């Protein structure tokens, strides 16, 4: 049972904050409903503040994943919906969502005009590979090939690259 993260050289990857391809062999998956920034009592947190909402969403993800024996490190796929999305918001959004996480999931960022209620600026939907006996999580080494024979590169996971800059740079 393993999770493998692959970054093929011919697929532009703007940042170590995402993994272009994630495969899961022999693992149970948890599909979480979209999380918004409400607290445990259903009150919105961080009105008008993308960063504060991302931090609350990270706490909600932590609680939901813990209920099934997982952590944010087990997330393999995420979709992030952002009201009034702009490149300068990306560090405030990705900072809390990636805090304490060793491996980046496959990720889609979607700019939207509105969410279910005007108070919410972000919604994050994730899929996690549940940990199990004998499971392992790895990143394909930079000199390893993909199934198509194409070289792959590993993500660098300790860099200080600014997510906003990284996600908006050109190939």
The answer to whether residues 91 and 164 touch, using CB atoms and an 8 Å cutoff, is: yes
**pTM surpassing 0.85?**
no
Cα 144 to chain center, whole Å?
24
Name which residue leads in pLDDT, 151 or 77: 77
Does pLDDT of 6 surpass 50? yes
> Alpha helices, DSSP H only, in the chain?
50-66, 90-98, 163-168
Q: What average pLDDT does range 129-146 have in this prediction? A: 57
Q: What average pLDDT does range 102-130 have in this prediction? A: 95
Q: 95 falls in which pLDDT band (50, 70, 90)? A: very high
Q: 50 falls in which pLDDT band (50, 70, 90)? A: very high
Q: What average pLDDT does range 15-30 have in this prediction? A: 79
Q: What average pLDDT does range 116-122 have in this prediction? A: 96
> Alpha helices, DSSP H only, in 35-155?
50-66, 90-98
Query: Which pLDDT does position 86 carry in this prediction?
Result: 95
> Alpha helices, DSSP H only, in 83-139?
90-98
Query: Which pLDDT does position 44 carry in this prediction?
Result: 95
Place of tokens 């409400």: 38
Q: What average pLDDT does range 18-46 have in this prediction? A: 87
Q: Which of 34, 32, 35, 36 is nearest to 120 (CA)?
A: 36
Q: 48 falls in which pLDDT band (50, 70, 90)? A: very high
SS3 72: helix
Does pLDDT of 56 surpass 60? yes
């Amino acid at each position: 049972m393993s999770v493998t993260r692959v970054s093929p050289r011919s697929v532009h990857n703007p940042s170590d904050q995402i993994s272009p391809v994630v495969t899961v062999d022999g693992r149970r998956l948890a599909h979480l409903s979209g999380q918004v920034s409400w607290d445990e009592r259903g009150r919105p947190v961080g009105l008008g503040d993308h960063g504060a909402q991302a931090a609350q969403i990270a706490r909600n993800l932590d609680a939901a994943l813990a209920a099934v024996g997982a952590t944010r490190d087990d997330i393999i796929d995420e979709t992030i919906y952002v009201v009034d999305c702009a490149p300068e918001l990306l560090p405030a959004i990705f900072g809390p969502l990636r805090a304490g996480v060793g491996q980046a999931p496959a990720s889609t960022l979607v700019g939207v005009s509105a969410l279910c209620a005007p108070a919410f600026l972000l919604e994050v939907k994730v899929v996690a590979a549940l940990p199990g006996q004998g499971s392992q999580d790895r990143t394909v080494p930079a000199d390893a090939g993909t199934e198509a024979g194409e070289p792959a590169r590993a993500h660098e996971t300790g860099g200080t690259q600014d997510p906003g800059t990284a996600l908006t740079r050109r190939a």
